[in-house]
Amino acid sequence: MSRKISVIGAGSGIFSLNMIKDLCLTPNLINSEICFMDIDEDRLDASYTLCKRFSEETGVKLNISKTTDRIECLQGADYVINTVLIGGYKGWKEGWEIGKKWGYRFGGSMHIMHDEAFWINFYQLRMMEDILQDIKRVCPDAWYIMIANPVMAGITYLQRKYPEVKSVGLCHGYSGIYELAEELGMNREDITFQIPGVNHFVWLNSFYHKGEDAKPLLDEWVNGAAVEFGKECGTSCGIGPKAVDLYKRYGLFPIGDTANPGGGAWGSWYHTSPEVEKVWNEDPDAWFKGYFEYSTGQVEFIKKAAYGDDKVSDLIDGGHSNEPMIPLIEALSCDVERVVIVNILNDNEYVAGVPRDFEVEIPALVSKRGIQGIKTLPLPKQILSRMLRDRIAPVEMELAAYESHDKNLMVDLIMMDPFNRTREQAEGFLEEILNLPYHTEMKAYFK
């Protein structure tokens, strides 16, 4: 059976290559049509060339094309994957420097000192909705698969407003469970788990190894080997001292981006000063520096691998990636029933205590019947309370500001940051952000 997968923002080469690798390793999806679209022609050409060469070298028949025209890419699509980042990393960095000047710190913020800062989300939300509107016109039966951040705000906003569109958010942050399992000496095929919550705030509330409760093994590690591990694992490690302390305080282990800089470095009390961060082996600045260096290096690697003389398949690991897109598409297309971690509205109270019209990250049974969320074990009140206060409430404020064009609500959003002290601080910071020359549209939008 032929199907078309349209990738918007395909200049993200490693993401695109992981998808092609997984397609090549999925016999049910051979003969698929893949269309790459990006407005950056250089990066688009490199990603296209790399992926086409890999497909040809591995002998797997995939019809791969490229375009800079979004409508052309969407024509006849069965699946639309959105991985766009408007403006690249420059906007993050410049905004962060202004934020630091006004007294904001990495630590607990998803809306200022993070890659989901409000001045990034404004453009991302517009882009997400624009693509959805194109899907409604051009390929209304397609699945809209959102990889681009902000997944939490984006899925909440779009599924509330457009329930008729088949949409889902995906994030690989849950795969942090495999890092924890490996440190505990477990093979991933021997574990089962539930890690519910909202995107970038998920907690391990069910954990089994070979059919036996794995919590005693986790407790043994936490109270023993975790101490030495925490000294050697590098700064801001996802299973380092901070995560271990949160487990001791809240009773569940934070997974993936829940507490590391990639998810806003929650909670703020571990980041009140450089001295406090040192105690917990935390350094979000260094973490992001490493992230940017890695990303830049990958762009260069893609160019060299795409146009070099070496075989692409010799340069790249040919195994499955941890990305959930292709398993999801295979399940939907070919009725290969499986459980996939997804981001959808909590309309059936999959996570008790989260509003029914808000996004949750949960396991779902995926097949030809669609995406059927699975109700998860309740989260303890101490975690649910933090989720409502630190994650859900700011997103609701951001969406209220976005939908009403209300500048005062943007100030209120900034005041919810844990390092905000006065309204004047929030107003001054917002004005400086809005007065950056490339934020003219955003300044006019918020009245």
**Cα–Cα distance for residue pair 251/266, rounded to 1 Å:** 16
DSSP state of 210: T
CB-based contact 187:168 (threshold 8 Å): no
**Cα–Cα distance for residue pair 115/193, rounded to 1 Å:** 28
**Cα–Cα distance for residue pair 157/413, rounded to 1 Å:** 16
User: Is cis: bond before 267, omega within 30 of 0?
Assistant: yes
CB-based contact 213:186 (threshold 8 Å): no
Edge-to-edge strands, sheet with 212-213: 191-194, 206-209, 212-213
Which residue spans within 156-200 are E strands per DSSP? Answer: 167-169, 191-194, 197-198
**Cα–Cα distance for residue pair 141/157, rounded to 1 Å:** 20
Conformation bin of residue 243: beta by default, left when phi > 0, alpha when psi is -120 to 50: alpha
**Cα–Cα distance for residue pair 438/207, rounded to 1 Å:** 47
Alpha helices (H) in 342-406, listed in sequence order = 381-386, 393-404
Residue written as tokens 């690991």?
Answer: 317
Phi and psi, residue 198, nearest 5°: -115, 160
Q: Is 76 exposed, middle or buried (0-12, 13-18, 19+ CB in 10 A)?
A: middle
Phi and psi, residue 306, nearest 5°: -65, -40
**Cα–Cα distance for residue pair 223/69, rounded to 1 Å:** 55
DSSP state of 373: E
CA 338 and chain centroid, separation: 21
**Cα–Cα distance for residue pair 367/328, rounded to 1 Å:** 8
Q: What is the dihedral of CA 43, 313, 326, 127, to 10 degrees?
A: -10
Helix, coil or strand: residue 198 = strand
CB-based contact 237:281 (threshold 8 Å): yes
Q: Which residues are catalytic?
A: 172, 257
Rg from Cα positions in the chain = 22
